[in-house]
Amino acid sequence: MTLVHLLARQARADAARAAILHGAAPWATYGAWAARSAGAAQRLRAGGLAQGDRVLLFMRNHPRYLELMWGAWWAGLVVVPVNAKLHRTEVEWIAANAQARWAFVSQEVLPADAPPLAGVERQVDAESPEADALLAPVDDAFSVPIAERGPDDVAWLFYTSGTTGRPKGVMITERNLLTMGLAYFVDVDPIDGEHDAMVYAAPMSHGCGLYAVPHLMAGARHVVPASGGVDPEELFALGRSLGPLSTFAAPTIVKRLVDHADQHGLTPADCAASFKTIVYGGAPMYVADIQRALSVMGPRFVQIYGQGETPMTATALSRRAIADASHPRYLERLGSVGVAQTPVRLRVADERGHDLPLGEAGEVLVRGDSVMAGYWRDPQATAAALRDGWLWTGDIGALDADGFLTLKDRSKDLVISGGSNIYPREVEEVILTAPGVAEVACVGAPDAQWGEVIVAFVVPQAGRSVDPAALDAHCLERIARFKRPKRYVVVDTLPRNNYGKVLKTALRARLQSA
């Protein structure tokens, strides 16, 4: 069984069933989806791509994201999903590292008059006549052979930022994604294939797109908003039109949905008409925020904790636990990320890998069939992250007697802003190339809207001054907009310990006291 066999199974069983919608408009039945993806597979092979080759998806959300992804898998290719918010220089680095041969792009992220991405053999606009021809349905999808893929073959090469400042390619296998899909039914939410619909408002290049797998398993509908993004008014209207929707959302998106419902005087019953389940994760959710979400929208929330290295599958805080305000440790549980999902084992350990007592904070370790095969072309990073079968997550947490995990901090200084990962060193390296900058240290600061934002402490070169506006322009030319600092603080020196290491804890304390 592979990811493609999931699509073939649904197409054989009920070819006329609605599968993909663009807004409220039908886009493809399961039969049409299979016929288009099979056609794409046939033409990708004819175009010279061989099993195991990488193809880049640098696109905003669109129904063709699903058709192209399954077409690539039908041909035995590896999909490299890229955040649509990345700067083209960052995308080109990923393409080169992944040795991607083809790239599919959309004009929202790469206009038609822009130079093509460097390094790829062929670039296709996903909404062009060229893409129309590539995705033209074949008469018999099942006449196109499905590539033979084993459970340990890589399907999804996901690039996540690393502490070196360069992203690492996480090798996610067929087994990893099938495990994640099956765990959804057990640990997150049951799916009614006849009535349920998954809406892709958050980026399909990330966790939201991965939830296509369990919804395909169930034969549910897949809805891509016409806007291609998060428009609360559009999403509430889609739910009322199509039936209650399920989705994955970062806490910032949850806040926007709750604000919309509150501002428009919607009751929990009104919200139930639009949303069945909202799975949240990818960034800290403050207890006060989820309490407000429950009061405004009702009990339709589930929290998951995972990483790119164990996609969407580490722990889950169930709908029941989130709504059970009568439990004596309710607030503690609400501040946790739940219990281990069914396919994984979870430990909290010290730096030597020894289990720590309940309640004591240490590094979170995960083991199971959802854990990645390793990092692409990076054996050193793989050896550091995977030890004796356990994934060392780099997250600091503590377990209670009931198995609930509460995250405390991130050992790698990761900043999560609006659900997107930002590593300070990557930003620091860019700022250090700006004229007049001697030193810089970036830390995360709490933010009501984004969860966290980057703040840069900048030391000017002797006799020089730095202009925050110029620094901002410098960053915008070199990294994605969402990664740039939201504040620049000019200082004379950076605090250091006796070994010369910058004390970022002192910088965070300064921000808190301010």
pLDDT score, position 396: 84
Tens of pLDDT, residue by residue over 368-377, are: 999 999 999 9
Long-range (24+ apart) CB contacts under 8 A made by 386-391 are 387/353, 388/353, 390/347, 390/353, 390/365, 390/366, 391/307, 391/309, 391/310, 391/365, 391/366, 391/367
pTM: 0.85
Report d(CA 141, CA 34) in Å as an integer: 6
9-13, 39-43, 407-411, 430-434: least confidently modelled range: 407-411
Tens of pLDDT, residue by residue over 97-112, are: 999 999 999 999 999 8
Band of the pLDDT at 505, cuts 50, 70, 90? confident
Tens of pLDDT, residue by residue over 269-322, are: 999 999 999 999 987 787 888 999 999 999 999 999 999 999 999 999 999 999
Report d(CA 434, CA 457) in Å as an integer: 14
Tens of pLDDT, residue by residue over 30-44, are: 999 999 999 999 999
* Residues facing 509 on adjacent strands: none
Report d(CA 373, CA 311) in Å as an integer: 12
User: Would you say 350 and 336 are in contact if contact means Cβ atoms under 8 Å apart?
Assistant: no
List, in order, residues 6 or more apart from 467 with CB less than 8 Å away: none
Considering only the C-alpha atoms of the chain, give the largest distance between any 2 of them, rounded to a whole number of Å.
74
Tens of pLDDT, residue by residue over 163-219, are: 345 889 999 999 999 999 999 999 999 999 999 999 999 999 999 999 999 999 999
- In order of start, what are the domains of the chain with their CATH numbers? 1-149 (3.40.50.12780), 344-410 (2.30.38.10), 415-513 (3.30.300.30)
Task: Report the length, in residues, of the chain.
Answer: 514
% residues pLDDT > 70 (the chain) = 97
Tokens representing 402? 């009931």
Task: Report the relative pairing of strands 122-125 and 102-105 from DSSP bridges.
Answer: parallel
User: Would you say 13 and 5 are in contact if contact means Cβ atoms under 8 Å apart?
Assistant: no
DSSP of 102-171? EEEE-TTTS-TTSPPPTT-SEEEETTSHHHHHHTPPPS-GGGSPPPP--TTSEEEEEEEE-TTSSEEEEE
Q: What share of the chain is helix, strand, coil (3-state, %, to 5)?
A: 35, 30, 40
**Mean pLDDT over all residues of the chain?**
94
Sign of CA dihedral 253, 254, 256, 260: positive
Report d(CA 423, CA 283) in Å as an integer: 14
Tokens representing 28? 């493809």
